[in-house]
Amino acid sequence: MTDGLQFVLFSTVNSVSSGSQLSVQSGAQAAFLLEYLPVVILFAIALVISLAFLVMAKIFAPSSPDAEKISTYECGFNAFDDSRMKFDVRFYLVAILFIIFDIEVAFLFPWAVSLDKIGVYGWAVVMIFLFELAVGLAYAWKKGALDWE
């Protein structure tokens, strides 16, 4: 079956490119592209199913918007202010510091699992890494990044 599909693909490329400047793919290149055919089919099926669900939801979903349903409601309270109010920069700073230190701590898990295999050199490298973490934390603390005043 693969040979027949490859022949159809190769003959289609030949018939399209005859008389033009398009280069004809060799049999090996066509076979290489043929390996991606299941992936292309999978993406096509996923796209069709997704679009079908979107269309069905738009057609069959009940829609009765009223003032109560479209009002802003969060955590059991109505909104106090406009949603476009200023946001304190300290929230962003704390979030960035959390992400940085969280990712660095996540690097310690593989080290802890393979501690018996990496030897003294691996241990020394991680101690240098932890020292850099401590220096970064001390610097952020000294600059007042962790103060909330």
Let me know: does 69 contact 63? Beta carbons within 8 Å.
Answer: no
Residue, of 147 and 71, whose pLDDT is higher? 147
Return the structure tokens found at 81: 């202010």
Span 28-83, pLDDT tens digits: 777 778 889 999 999 999 999 999 999 999 999 887 777 767 776 666 666 666 66
What span, in angstroms and rounded, lies between the C-alpha atoms of 44 and 39?
Answer: 9
Half-sphere exposure (Cβ direction) of 31: Cα atoms closer than 13 Å:
6
pLDDT score of 135: 92
Q: How far apart are CA 140 and CA 11, in angstroms?
A: 66
**Tell me: the pLDDT tens digits for 5-28?**
444 445 544 554 454 444 555 677
Q: Tell me the C-alpha distance between 59 and 51, whole Å.
A: 12
Residue 78 pLDDT: 61
How far apart, in Å, are the Cα atoms of 112 and each of 98, 102, 132?
A: 21, 16, 18
| Distance set, CA 44 to CA 53, 106, 136 (Å) | 14, 37, 48
pLDDT at 111: 86
pTM to 2 decimals?
0.41
* Whole-number Å distance between alpha carbons of 117 and 121: 10
In order of their start, the domains of the chain are 1-85 (no CATH), 86-142 (1.20.58.1610)
